[in-house]
Structure 1
Amino acid sequence: MHDDEQAIRNLIASWIEASADGDVERLRLLMADDVVFLTPCQAPLRGRDAFMAVFEKGLQHYRIDARSEVREVRVVGDSAYCWTHLTVTITPTKTGLPMRRSGDALSFLQKQAGGNWVIVRDANMLMPEPAPAGSM
């Protein structure tokens, strides 16, 4: 496996771990200032600060547990894309049932001057999973 591909796989693993830990500073380092997140039925979320505000607000009410399966990484010079399948469980910290979403995500990455990779665009198609039988 090429070093850049492994670095991108490590970035995805770091993102999952930092999200679970609520480590906002670590997440901040994994994305470009002008990052854009695209999700179903939502306006684009533009910029690292906008993402961080939404994420930090969410941490006040929810715990995030995610799993990812990297399906493909392609590197072309200092640009790359990564296709992953994600399963995310969002659990209220006080009361309520966990919500589970799953689907595919396509991330575009850029290699920085120091050699580290950051997410510059991310489109995810996570949709709610149906509640298990008997959970109502």
Structure 2
Amino acid sequence: MTEDEQAIRQVVATWMEASQSGDTATVLSLMTEDVIFMVPGQVPFGREAFEATAGESDGARPQIDGTNDIVEMQVLGTWAFTRNRIDLTITSPTGETVQRAGYTLTLFRKEADGSWRLARDANLLMPKS
């Protein structure tokens, strides 16, 4: 495994850990300024919208638990992509639990400081029955 592949795997692992602990600041540090997210049924959105919906100002955030497994990775210069299989359980502050599973296709960009950051994400998670 190359150094770039290891770095990208670390970004994915850190993203998951920070999401599970509610550490929005760390998640934001892992994305580019011009990041774009695509999810079913919504218009693509960027960093500002992600941050606005990451949690309520009173600290009431959903609890996230699950796995994020990289099933494919390609590094092409300063760009890379991963195809991941994600399986999540999300519990709202009110106690309602939703399970989602599926795949994502994520583009990473190596920034001027040498860090890999998430630049584009197509999230195809669906409710799990």
Q: Tell me, what secondary structure is at the counterpart of 1:56? A: coil
Which structure has the larger Rg? 1
Alignment of 1:1-136 (within 5 A): 1-46=1-46, 48-57=47-56, 60-96=60-96, 98-130=97-129
Letter in 1 for 2:86: L
In the TM superposition, residue 67 of structure 1 has moved relative to its aligned partner by 0.7
**Following TM superposition, by how much is the alpha carbon of 1:61 offset from its aligned partner in structure 2, in angstroms?**
4.5
Structure 2 CA distance, aligned partners of 1:26 and 1:66?
Answer: 18
Moved over 3 A (4+): none
Match in the other structure for 1:134: none
The one-letter amino acid paired with 1:129 is: K
Instruction: Give the aligned residue type for 2:92.
Output: P
How far residue 42 of structure 1 moved from its aligned partner, in angstroms, is 1.3
Q: 1:68 to 1:95 in 2, by over 3 A?
A: closer
Superposed CA deviations along residues 45-94 of structure 1, whole A, max 9, x for unmatched, are 12x12111111239624211131110011101110001100011111233
| Cα contact 1:61–1:94 (8 A) shared by 2 | no
Q: Do the aligned partners of 1:104 and 1:124 also contact (CA within 8 Å) in 2?
A: yes
Opposite residue 62 of structure 2, the aligned amino acid is: Y
Distance of 1:92 and 1:24 partners within structure 2? 16
- Equivalent AA in structure 2 for residue 99 of structure 1: V
Structure 2: which amino acid aligns with 1:41? Answer: G
Mark the runs of 5 or more structure 1 residues left unpaired by the alignment. 131-136
Amino acid at match of 2:122: A
Structure 2 residues without counterparts, runs of 5 or longer: none
TM-score, structure 2 as length reference: 0.93
Paired with 2:65 and 2:23, the residues of 1 have a C-alpha distance of 13
Give the TM-score of the pair, scaled to structure 1: 0.88
Question: Could you tell me which residue of structure 2 aligns to residue 133 of structure 1?
Answer: none
After superposition, the CA RMSD in angstroms is 1.5
Provide the aligned length of Structure 1 versus Structure 2: 128
Please tell me the residue identity of whatever aligns with 1:108. Answer: L
The AA in structure 2 aligned to 1:101 is: R
